Amino acid sequence: MQERFMAEAIAMARQGVALGHGGPFGAVVVRDGVVIGRGWNRVIADTDPTAHAEVNAIRDASGRLGVWHLEECELYASCEPCPMCLSAAYWAHISKIYYAASEADAAELGFDDRHIREELQCSPIRRSLPMQQLMREEALEVFAQWRASELKRHY
């Protein structure tokens, strides 16, 4: 079964390359032995730097199911997820990740997210992407608005 689903993730990657949609990466989300979401890298096709295979597969699955959590779902990715995709899997409450190629394999191909991994581990002031805080109080007013809202849902 695991091989069948990974073969599907890899087939997504192959399709994306054939179409020139982006990097050679595919993913599927599986629940109860059924593929419920598919994605491949569409960074170039969609001119969207966030359109990685795993993000697309998670969006596809959660959109189809109408849920924002994918508990008891497994993510099959043709390559080890980058920090963005791994974080997305946590936000989605994915229960297990299977991957095929490693981040080292991807780096050898020129897709090196090691830099991002290292930056995330730095304290903010040491990062290459500078960050500056301003207007905290104004943002906290919206937090209070949310806290008082009857429409709020936790995720």
Active site positions, annotated = 54
> Phi and psi at residue 22, in whole multiples of 5°?
165, -155
Out of 3, 32, 34, 125, point to the residue binding its own copies (CB under 8 A). 3
What is the spatial distance between Cα 81 and Cα 11, in angstroms, rounded to a whole number?
17
Give me the least distance between CB of 38 and its own copies, in Å please: 15
39 beta partners: 27
The answer to whether 46 contacts its own copies (rule: CB under 8 A) is: yes
The answer to whether 39 contacts its own copies (rule: CB under 8 A) is: no
* Binding characters for its own copies, 6-35, by CB under 8 A (x = yes): xx--x--xx--xxxx-xxx-x---------
**3-state DSSP assignment of residue 106:** helix
What is the spatial distance between Cα 153 and Cα 20, in angstroms, rounded to a whole number?
39
Contacts with its own copies in 65-104 (CB under 8 A)? 65-70, 78-80, 82-84, 86-102
Instruction: Count how many Cα atoms sit within 13 Å of the Cα of residue 28 in the half-sphere of its side chain.
Output: 18
Q: What number of other Cβ atoms are within 10 A of residue 101's Cβ?
A: 18
Give me the least distance between CB of 138 and its own copies, in Å please: 5
Nearest to 96, CA basis, from 106, 83, 86: 86
Out of 30, 32, 49, 107, point to the residue binding its own copies (CB under 8 A). 49
The answer to whether 114 contacts its own copies (rule: CB under 8 A) is: no
Out of 28, 37, 110, 114, point to the residue binding its own copies (CB under 8 A). 110
Out of 71, 72, 107, 140, point to the residue binding its own copies (CB under 8 A). 140
